[in-house]
Structure 1
């Protein structure tokens, strides 16, 4: 479904991504794990079209999308939940969700999808008239995910969804990620909580200083002594 080939990205003289290649098959959860500064977010931003690569290609469903706009990638079914939630704090919960569907014209289906979001995240319906900035961190993460789902994505990118959340919310967010995947949405997940990410991932890539240094199934990497020592606390 998604194929990244020999991707290089520079920020001035800084070589941020170094010849990375990866694939995501339809229906999978694939995760990128690694320390801060490893290049995980840069990889997602590049695939989303927010950063231009200096070399390499991005293929989505057989089409080279390396040079097309972020908006056109959303139209094709790619949507990203950014690091730090990035909700529109002065707008209501409902207005944030409606913005997620800004490229869509199918009003009847949009209303159905809105009801689906409320079923999946009941707290958002209770708070729909509330300013998004007044929600807790966990609620804002749910809103950011709901907003992305309103674009009706076939592939969802999640950037550090557990960042700054209490442990109870972290488990809930990962349960939601699994349920989204089970309804047919393919997921590429960037996450520093390697233990939680590997538990739900079909496959994983480990990044260090802009390079992919290891890959395997989630279970294989959970059992790896190297990964346990580096990312799982022993």
Structure 2
């Protein structure tokens, strides 16, 4: 498989706080790769930095063979990398349809007409609520909208930050089924998720972050059965 993302010796700080301390990892086309770890481990910081929202102190980020450090976030989206952020961050005063339109700003009108139909096919509830204010949606519906908005740019690599946060168990299963289906249809996924068991169960490979460093790596199955991982993140 061809490599789509390569992160090397990445360092990110917030003032005196070193959030990411020299991590390196790769993602191949067609994979689901999960980053797991406790709160404050550096997971979201890593995704935000890849997406161009943070400027690293050191290290390199290569996407589809090109260095993207210092590239504007909207240019990174144009290259085929999209972030669905933690906390959904939908535009609450705008309608569902308007939120989706915002996600397709890098594409042509014709491409957006085609893609929004794909999004509605994936998330039928969004079609039902197309004119509804995003702020009035349930948590699960807002997560679907955030994912749909990210998909409007037709990403080759979709980064998902805590997609199950605050959702009921039945909705968590639905979201993870959708993630698997997106991957099976060709989208590469980088997944940050507190629900380590669910994340590793669908991941081809995973990385464990602890205080800004990678402490373990392996296949999803290997990490699921690792004693240290089980004790720390899987409830024994």
Q: TM-score, normalised by structure 1?
A: 0.98
Partner of 2:26: 23
Partner of 2:129: 127
Partner of 2:47: 44
CA deviation profile, 1:143-184 (whole Å, cap 9, x unmatched)? 000000001111000000000000010000000011111111
User: 1:61 offset after TM fit, Å?
Assistant: 0.9
CA deviation profile, 1:19-43 (whole Å, cap 9, x unmatched)? 1000000000001000000000000
Secondary structure of 2:166 counterpart = coil
Secondary structure of 2:142 counterpart = helix
Match of 2:184 among 182, 185, 203: 182
User: 1:81 offset after TM fit, Å?
Assistant: 0.3
CA deviation profile, 1:107-150 (whole Å, cap 9, x unmatched)? 22211111111111000000101000110000000000000000
Q: C-alpha separation between the residues in 2 aligned to 1:108 and 1:50?
A: 29
Partner of 1:13: 16
Partner of 2:5: 2
Structure 1, unmatched stretches of 5+, are none
Q: TM-score, normalised by structure 2?
A: 0.98
User: 1:221 offset after TM fit, Å?
Assistant: 0.4
- Determine whether 1:200 maps to 2:206: no
Structure 2, unmatched stretches of 5+, are none
Secondary structure of 1:173 counterpart = helix
Partner of 1:78: 81
Partner of 1:167: 169
Partner of 1:139: 141
Match of 2:38 among 35, 38, 58: 35
Match of 1:66 among 61, 64, 69: 69
User: 1:188 offset after TM fit, Å?
Assistant: 0.4
Alpha-carbon RMSD across the aligned residues, in angstroms, is 0.6
Dislocated runs of 4+, deviation >4 Å = none
- Determine whether 1:57 maps to 2:60: yes
Partner of 2:90: 87
- Superposed, 1:216-227 pairs within 5 Å as 216-227=218-229
Q: C-alpha separation between the residues in 1 aligned to 2:163 and 2:211?
A: 21
Question: What is the number of residues matched between the two proteins?
Answer: 233
